[in-house]
């Protein structure tokens, strides 16, 4: 059975929202504003699935959240804590079946944007998986969001 996956179209804003929750800041000051129109000082982590959807809408991340996601758990990991987040068994089986039949392992589109589309003025690297320094912070933001939302494929 093919399971629906979470989809995001604006990985930069998604990563900024995740970093806002993590750092207790507002990394999206143009979007998260108070009644007075001033940027909120911080964006609190969502408390339930509806709050999560509302914050994603405000952040304009282009979230497609399949209907099977009805609950939300937010946990801030500490650096002395190892968290083994095990994906649902059905999702692992679905991914294995997909790979067996199609052979394609799809990564979010932002990987292609950062790893293959180098401008002519960027220094060439022997390692194709090196992100140029002037783009590394933006890649980190997108990658942080990817780390948080992906399950097993």
**Does some domain include residue 35?**
yes
Q: How many CB atoms lie within 10 A of CB 18?
A: 21
6 within domain boundaries: no
CA angle 79, 85, 88 (to 5 degrees): 170
Q: Are 95 and 152 in contact (CB under 8 A)?
A: yes
pLDDT tens digits for range 85-141: 888 888 888 888 888 887 777 778 787 777 765 555 555 555 656 666 777 778 888
- 87: which strand partners? none
Is 71 domain-assigned?
yes
Total domains in the fold of the chain: 1
Residue 108 lies in a domain: yes
Q: pLDDT tens digits for 12-21?
A: 999 999 999 9
pLDDT band at 153 (very low <50, low <70, confident <90, very high): very low
Structural domain containing residue 39: 11-149
Whether 107 is in a domain gets the answer: yes
What local confidence, expressed as pLDDT, does residue 111 receive?
A: 79
42: left (phi over 0), alpha (psi -120 to 50) or beta: beta
Q: What predicted TM-score, i.e. pTM, was given to this entire model?
A: 0.79
- Distance in angstroms (rounded) separating the CA atoms of residues 103 and 101: 6
């Amino acid at each position: 059975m093919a399971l629906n996956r979470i989809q995001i179209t604006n990985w930069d804003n998604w990563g900024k929202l995740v970093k806002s929750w993590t750092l207790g800041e507002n990394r999206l000051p143009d979007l998260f504003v108070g009644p007075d129109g001033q940027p909120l000082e911080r964006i609190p982590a969502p408390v339930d699935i509806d709050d999560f959807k509302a914050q994603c809408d405000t952040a304009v991340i282009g979230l497609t959240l399949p209907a099977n996601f009805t609950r939300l758990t937010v946990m801030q990991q500490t650096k002395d804590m190892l968290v083994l987040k095990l994906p649902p068994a059905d999702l692992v089986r679905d991914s294995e079946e997909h790979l067996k039949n199609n052979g394609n392992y799809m990564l979010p589109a932002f990987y292609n944007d950062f790893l293959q589309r180098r401008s002519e003025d960027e220094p060439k690297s022997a390692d194709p998986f090196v992100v140029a320094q002037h783009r590394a912070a933006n890649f980190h933001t997108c990658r942080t969001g990817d780390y948080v939302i992906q399950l097993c494929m």
